[in-house]
Amino acid sequence: MQITLMPMRHDLALEVSRQGDVLVLNGQALDFGAVTPESPGLAERFACPWLISDVQRQSDGRLCLSLILPHGPEAPPETLYPAMLELTGDGLVDLPPFGPGADQAG
């Protein structure tokens, strides 16, 4: 799974985990299992404020999508200019920090 992060000032942090084709964003499970290369998952269908793109499945089976990366008022450079995430396994996703001393869970 390939995730592009788009930084945005926000008061609520984001916690992301993955289980196969399911992404859980602050407790909301988004199942992308039905997304195929011929039938992308439209962002509106998932009704999730963190998902800001349609979900595409590449011919190799990899899912590609964009998420808002919320951050506090004093976010570090790695949060303001995040690298693209390549998820190869399941579990909690390691996101750049929300801000200094901030609790990441939202």
Please determine, for residue 103, whether its predicted confidence score (pLDDT) is greater than 70: no
Q: d(Cα 86, Cα 97) in Å, to the nearest integer? A: 17
Q: How far, rounded to the nearest angstrom, does the alpha carbon of residue 78 sit from its chain's CA centroid? A: 16
Q: How many Å apart are CA 23 and CA 105, to the nearest integer?
A: 15
Q: Is residue 63 packed enough to be buried (19+ CB in 10 Å), middle (13-18) or exposed (0-12)?
A: buried
* pLDDT at residue 38 in the model: 93
How far apart are the C-alpha atoms of 69 and 54, rounded to whole Å? Answer: 16
For the stretch 3-44, pLDDT in tens is: 999 999 999 999 999 999 999 999 999 999 999 999 999 998
pLDDT at residue number 106: 45
What would the mean pLDDT of 75-86 be, rounded to a whole number?
A: 96
